Structure 1
Amino acid sequence: MSMKYIDEYRDAELAKRISAEVARLSEGRQLKLMEVCGGHTHTIYKHGIEDVLPLNIDLVHGPGCPVCVLPMGRIDDALAIARMENVIFTTFGDMMRVPGSRGSLLDAKAEGADVRFVYSPLDAYKLARQYPEKEVVFFAIGFETTAPSTAVTLLRAKTEGIKNFSVFCNHVTIIPAIKAILDSPDLRLDGFVGPGHVSMVIGMRPYTFIAQQHHKPVVIAGFEPLDIIQSVYMIAKQIYEGRSEIENQYTRVVRPEGNVKALEAMARTMELRPYFEWRGLGFITHSALKLRPEFAEWDAELRYDVPGVRVADPKACQCGEVLKGVIKPWECKVFGTACTPETPIGTCMVSPEGACAAYFNYGRFSMASERSRLRMASTSQANG
């Protein structure tokens, strides 16, 4: 597709034509495809893409929401820092309401802690320059998409010698999470709609193992409705032709080599942790980043005494299963009742990228259930 204007990416007639091609290519097959990125999940449910695609295409949601995958213990560590005297604790807005075992950052703010939401680490850095008598901490979260902005801010802090600024680093990396999904015994996948924003930084090469070792196609996708529908078509075409390759639908943004300068900034400031706990996936080796020893003066984990305790998720919450794609959000026992965006029990209901929030905000829970019933009926007819 060669398009220039936003409405062209939302052409309903073109979407139907591509979907008809998907139906032709996948006839007689039940295909389960995982969209890794939470941004894709929201596009799918905001624009009703599941209802355009044929019933034999089942889209499941992966661990691509950085807010959702943070374990409760790391939230408790953030709360411990935020409640310290003389600290201005800064964070992205969607972290404010994520529940820890002792409340959320919004609760801490209501209790008197100086917690502020910012749009970037540079905003936090500016606060450090504005209030030299305060300790300003930035709660760094996100995949490789947001890590470069943290890296650039750290380089600036070191160059300018700003010592009252530090980073509580919780950046995670996408490839180990996908490996954990592929190694999971309770999930069978036929292909991946690859994350667009992460791939803008890391490029295409890191996904090669998915095609070569696991024989699953990956198509890196943009975030408009037709981006996702075309990506599903490209996956279905690969499967129809017996191929497993890494393809790039999002060519207007993603380059095969990624963003070399962003990767260099990350390499100068951060290194892989030996292991890191993910909500729902447990401990995964080399799956997260920490600051390099050269940046120890700006490392909040070294500067402050944090609990560092592993905290179990609430028993009622099934965020882990949702993040692994094992269940859909509406299948969770507390979805839409005890757990809503206003009263979240789990992280998937908090973040704008969370799958549960996507289902809830776009009113998809009843329709998802009906679609699942139709899909099962269609499968039994095909098998019968």
Structure 2
Amino acid sequence: MRYVEEFNDPALARRLLDDIRATATRPWALMEVCGGQTHSIIRHGIDQLLPDGLELIHGPGCPVCVTPLEMIDKALAIASRPEVVFCSFGDMLRVPGTDRDLFRVKSAGGDVRVVYSPLDAVRIARRTPDREVVFFGIGFETTAPANVMAVHQADRLGLRNFSMLVSHVRVPPAIEAIMRSPECRVQGFLAAGHVCSVMGLAEYPPLAERHRVPIVVTGFEPLDILEGIRRAVHQLERGTHRVENAYPRAVRDEGNPAALAMLAEVFVTTDRSWRGIGRIPDSGWSLAPAWRSFDAEHRFQVTGVTTEEPAVCRSGDVLQGLVKPHECEAFGTLCTPRTPLGATMVSSEGACAAYYHYRRLRPAAATARAPQDAGSTEEATPVG
């Protein structure tokens, strides 16, 4: 695909890196918000190519990782009911709850199915009117329009056996919470381009102004990320703090008006707990009262769930950017992709999974050999 190859060009990468090195005169700390960006950074060795003192802090931008333990346990309780067909994307099946995961529910006889779209769950509900079909609707703003469309479709078809367990989270309130933390070291953000393709840029200028940090909307290919870093460093060196769109091929200032209108109709903002971070005001969506009949939490009355994270797991600190994954004592030993303690090791976008997969096993040995159950022999491949 020539279009993608153009954003992996080593010569262009070197030019961007030269500009970054020539511009940066002091240490800076930038946070990439999205887990997809984290994987691209680690896979291509971008963080290793940056000048000394320019640090990339990995943010909480993995929807699987930040889905709270309480919500996972609610999903497990619903999926265990004999009348339920529980549908989910595959990356949620191995996320550990308090004492099991969805794979274990499935192995114990629960009807847990992997789907590739929420509309697949709607079709299952239409084909099996005698079963309660529940879709696990998680994610950031990116996946919300498809989930809203599924609810609309179920309503249009008159499907009263379809419901959705909603655990949507929103990025701007998370940035606000990060910046208000007394331990925050972040001086600029690489914002998630796919989120902004839906939501637009309207919520970001007040954040940039209030906290005096540049926010650069960035894509996911190596050159996208390097261009985002370059723009953020230029702003930091000049002492400016504004929002820049470095991903114009996918993002418009106004976002997607049709998606925004549908979201406003079906969802309302709500306080939401983020796994490892805590409760953030107005950081999530839930179904509006008019659509309550499709709310699985309301339908199945899942209450009284108490949870406790493994004490040895520091995934919460990883999600807040306070530590790198390999600084956790459990990383690569007690916690591996086959025996995960936290969602950051399970998810394909989790920072711990990225460090494990690309052999960032120790701070001083970025390319050390991974243990036998790594499941991959791929090395980090610096673009420069």
TM-score (norm 1): 0.93
Aligned: 1:76 with 2:70:
no
In 2 relative to 1, CA 210–290 (structure 1 residues): closer, same or farther, beyond 3 Å? same
Q: How far apart, in 1, do the equivalents of 2:2 and 2:232 lie?
A: 24
Contact map agreement 2:359 2:366 (CA 8 A) in 1: no
Give the letter for the 1:183 counterpart: R
Q: Which of 111, 134, 141 matches 1:137?
A: 134
In 2 relative to 1, CA 308–150 (structure 1 residues): closer, same or farther, beyond 3 Å? farther
User: Which residue pairs with 1:25 in the alignment?
Assistant: 23
User: Which residue pairs with 1:198 in the alignment?
Assistant: 195
1:305 Cα deviation from its structure 2 partner:
2.5
Q: How far apart, in 1, do the equivalents of 2:265 and 2:301 lie?
A: 26
Q: How far apart, in 2, do the equivalents of 1:308 and 1:216 lie?
A: 41
User: Which residue pairs with 1:379 in the alignment?
Assistant: none
**Worse overlay, 281-290 or 359-368:** 359-368
TM alignment of 1:220-369, pairs within 5 A: 220-273=217-270, 275-366=271-362
Contact map agreement 1:35 1:60 (CA 8 A) in 2: yes
Aligned: 1:95 with 2:92:
yes
1:158-191 Cα shifts (integer Å, max 9, x gaps): 1221111100011111111111100011121110
User: Which residue pairs with 2:186 in the alignment?
Assistant: 189
Contact map agreement 2:92 2:102 (CA 8 A) in 1: yes
Contact map agreement 2:57 2:186 (CA 8 A) in 1: no
Identity among equivalent positions (%) equals 48
Give structure 2 stretches of 5+ with no counterpart.
Answer: 368-384
TM alignment of 1:7-156, pairs within 5 A: 7-27=5-25, 29-156=26-153
What is the Cα-based RMSD across aligned positions, in Å? Answer: 1.5
Q: How far apart, in 2, do the equivalents of 1:202 and 1:224 lie?
A: 21
1:366 Cα deviation from its structure 2 partner:
3.1
1:5 Cα deviation from its structure 2 partner:
2.0
1:133 Cα deviation from its structure 2 partner:
1.0
1:327 Cα deviation from its structure 2 partner:
0.3
Determine helix, strand or coil for the equivalent of 1:169: strand
TM-score (norm 2): 0.93
Determine helix, strand or coil for the equivalent of 1:327: coil
1:44-101 Cα shifts (integer Å, max 9, x gaps): 0111111222122100111111111112111110000000011100011100000001
Give the letter for the 2:317 counterpart: E
Determine helix, strand or coil for the equivalent of 2:286: strand
Contact map agreement 2:360 2:366 (CA 8 A) in 1: no
User: Which residue pairs with 1:376 in the alignment?
Assistant: none
1:122-170 Cα shifts (integer Å, max 9, x gaps): 0111110111111100000001100110111111111221111100011
1:296 Cα deviation from its structure 2 partner:
1.6
Determine helix, strand or coil for the equivalent of 1:322: helix
Give the letter for the 1:208 counterpart: P
1:4 Cα deviation from its structure 2 partner:
6.4
User: Which residue pairs with 2:174 in the alignment?
Assistant: 177
Determine helix, strand or coil for the equivalent of 1:44: helix
How many residues align? The count is: 367
Give the letter for the 1:48 counterpart: G
Q: How far apart, in 2, do the equivalents of 1:212 and 1:335 lie?
A: 37
Q: How far apart, in 1, do the equivalents of 2:279 and 2:49 lie?
A: 37
Contact map agreement 2:326 2:363 (CA 8 A) in 1: no
Q: How far apart, in 1, do the equivalents of 2:101 and 2:123 lie?
A: 25
